[in-house]
Structure 1
Amino acid sequence: MVMTNLTSHGLAILMTLFIAGSFLSAAELSGIIHPVALTLLRFIGAVIAFSPVILTIPKHRSAIKKVLPKSLIISLFYSVFFLCMFKSLETTTALNTTALYTLVPFITAVLCFVFFRETISGYMLNAYTMGTVGAMWVIFKGDINTIFALSLNNGDLYFLMGCFSMAGFSIAMKTLYQGESMPAMVFCTLIGGAIWMALVLIFIGQPLEIDKIRETDYFHILYLALFATLFSTLIMQKITVQLGPTKVMAYVFMTPALVILLQFVLQGQSINSPIYPGIILSVIATFYLQKVSTNKVKST
């Protein structure tokens, strides 16, 4: 069991790294095609890549019919998050949405209290506060005046709804999974995401516009489809069942720091010393939350 938990936490860090990398690829693709169309391509690419694994193994293939209805619900939460993000960015900034995204671990804990009666101890509240402060310190590059100047508008309210949906995505996986084929459930979740995004494109009358994609863009689309969508969804659904939504979502605090690290490694951007305290605080809060969550479970 110890090795299983250590492996799950290692996978959680890997998943967070994949998600951090998606910010860099998404930035490269920004403005080329509609964000909903881009998300649809992410899901379609992931489905195509995963199809040989699912369709050639009888036990996974036979589970599709059983898990598809559940997966459509799970993928709906994921899709609503993206829709709220796209809507919010019409009237707010990426900086605001990134800051609000650090609230997802706390929102997840609240929903776990509502649905699973998991209590939120004072130690956990301290960890959430520490993680949020650390992540925002990284986002705003240690500029306290900018942090206090953060103002919210209607776009931020849309994204806040999306944050609740992302937390619901994790809760739905924990609730609906009942020992079925995990690969089949992930496959159907990806299909569900493609269905929801295709319906949105039809509803808003937006063409896919594949012709606008440049040859150099396909690397980033492939990364988003495989690493930020397929592998991340596989890992998230697996470790959420093992660790629970609260512990998994705690790794959100490390996302801004990992984005900075990837920019340093891949793009040669320097890491400014004022953000070091935020990086350290984010990491401490993430692992502290794992510890206090474990202690809480043992004591109940």
Structure 2
Amino acid sequence: MQKVSSPSDVKRGRVLAHLAMLLFAALIAGSFSFGGLAARAMDTGVLTFLRYVATVFVMGFLAYGVSRQPFAWPKQAWRFLILGGLISFYMLTMFKALEFTSPVSTGAVFTLMPLMSAGFALLINRQKTRAAVLTSLVIAAAGAVWVIFRGDINAILAFDVGQGEMIYFTGVLAHAIYVPLIRTFDRGEHPVVFGFWVTVFATGFLALRAGPYLADVDYAAVSPLVWWSLAYLAVVTTAITFMLLQFASMRLPAPKVLAYGYLTPSFIILLEGVLGHGWVTLPVVAGALVTALGLAWMAALKD
């Protein structure tokens, strides 16, 4: 007989889900410095492929630890084919877009994801987003854009949607579909086992892109710091953040889950200051506070 969760258990789960997504945003922010370092040392397609190969081993170890049984081909494997394809497409478009545009512009495109996810959640899961939640998302997005452009109104007005932004927009679209599909495709698997198969299929797609370039990299000449960065990307940014995303997606509506991505620019700014790379101006801090207030309001609203 299936155990029915009590209201207190549900409430506790939602609080933990919000905390998980706060940690998610902080860990993703930390990956920008390490990812930028690694990306300068090798082809981005190869880098992403190697990152996911390492993640497969990490997730496989964790999956075996929770299931305590040999791996068997998953039931309805087409689910993981779709999810792995969406994630790999998002990763590749992000790196491809950066060949044409700046991280600032791609960050502005990224802020569209929660609102897009709200639309897909309605279409896929019949999950309606209340007007108050949408309003809080818009407020949080406005603060995030202000932070991304460092409080420069002229930089915002001069934003020009070019080839890079359009490429990344297609990737953001794929990621926005991915989150509501997690709930739709859930068949009761443990989140770690579910995540393992998503990374396996994503790695297969990435191999198609990286294959022709794998032999061109002089691996012996790659700095140890790059390998440490790759390890951070594989273990922390991919494996751990995936489990956090999976945990939160089963307890919160998709727009609330992705809204925490708005905090990533603020965490990046904070990290850069702590590392001694300089602190931002007060107008930028004000934008970060607007985002935080928008998210706090959203978290307090009923799902």
Q: Same fold (TM over 0.5)?
A: yes
1:190 matched to 2:190? The reply is no
1:113 matched to 2:122? The reply is yes
Q: 1:15 aligns with which of 17, 24, 35?
A: 24
1:73 matched to 2:82? The reply is yes
Q: Distance in 1 between matches of 2:152 and 2:69?
A: 50
1:232 matched to 2:227? The reply is no
The verdict on how the C-alpha distance between 1:95 and 1:166 changes in structure 2, with shifts beyond 3 A counting, is: same
Shift of 1:58: 4.5
1:289 matched to 2:298? The reply is yes
Q: 1:91-112 deviations in whole A, cap 9, x for unaligned?
A: 2222110111011111101111
Q: Distance in 2 between matches of 1:34 and 1:56?
A: 33
Q: Distance in 2 between matches of 1:32 and 1:162?
A: 24
The verdict on how the C-alpha distance between 1:262 and 1:63 changes in structure 2, with shifts beyond 3 A counting, is: farther
Structure 2 counterpart of 1:270: 279
Structure 2 counterpart of 1:244: 253
Specify every segment of 5 or more residues in structure 2 that has no aligned partner in the other structure, as ranges.
1-8
| SS of aligned partner of 1:243 | coil
Shift of 1:239: 1.2
Q: Distance in 2 between matches of 1:147 and 1:190?
A: 36
Structure 1 counterpart of 2:265: 256
Q: 2:171 aligns with which of 140, 144, 162?
A: 162
| SS of aligned partner of 1:207 | helix
Alignment of 1:37-186 (within 5 A): 37-55=46-64, 58=67, 61-62=70-71, 64-66=73-75, 68-186=77-195
Q: 2:227 aligns with which of 218, 243, 251?
A: 218
Most deviating of 65-74 and 268-277: 65-74
Q: Are the counterparts in 2 of residues 68 and 185 from structure 1 also a CA contact under 8 Å?
A: no
Q: Are the counterparts in 2 of residues 54 and 61 from structure 1 also a CA contact under 8 Å?
A: no
Q: Distance in 2 between matches of 1:131 and 1:199?
A: 37
Structure 1 counterpart of 2:12: 3
TM-score (ref. length: structure 1): 0.90
Q: How many residues align?
A: 292
Shift of 1:22: 1.0
1:207 matched to 2:214? The reply is yes
Specify every segment of 5 or more residues in structure 1 that has no aligned partner in the other structure, as ranges.
none
The verdict on how the C-alpha distance between 1:87 and 1:28 changes in structure 2, with shifts beyond 3 A counting, is: closer
Q: Are the counterparts in 2 of residues 63 and 184 from structure 1 also a CA contact under 8 Å?
A: no
Q: Distance in 2 between matches of 1:121 and 1:8?
A: 19
Q: 1:196-247 deviations in whole A, cap 9, x for unaligned?
A: 1101223xx2225234421121221111011100000111112101113121
Q: Distance in 2 between matches of 1:240 and 1:125?
A: 18
| SS of aligned partner of 1:206 | helix
Structure 1 counterpart of 2:6: none
Q: Distance in 1 between matches of 2:12 and 2:64?
A: 31
| SS of aligned partner of 1:91 | coil
Q: 1:86-137 deviations in whole A, cap 9, x for unaligned?
A: 2322322221101110111111011112222333443233222211110111
The verdict on how the C-alpha distance between 1:173 and 1:162 changes in structure 2, with shifts beyond 3 A counting, is: same
Most deviating of 251-260 and 210-219: 210-219
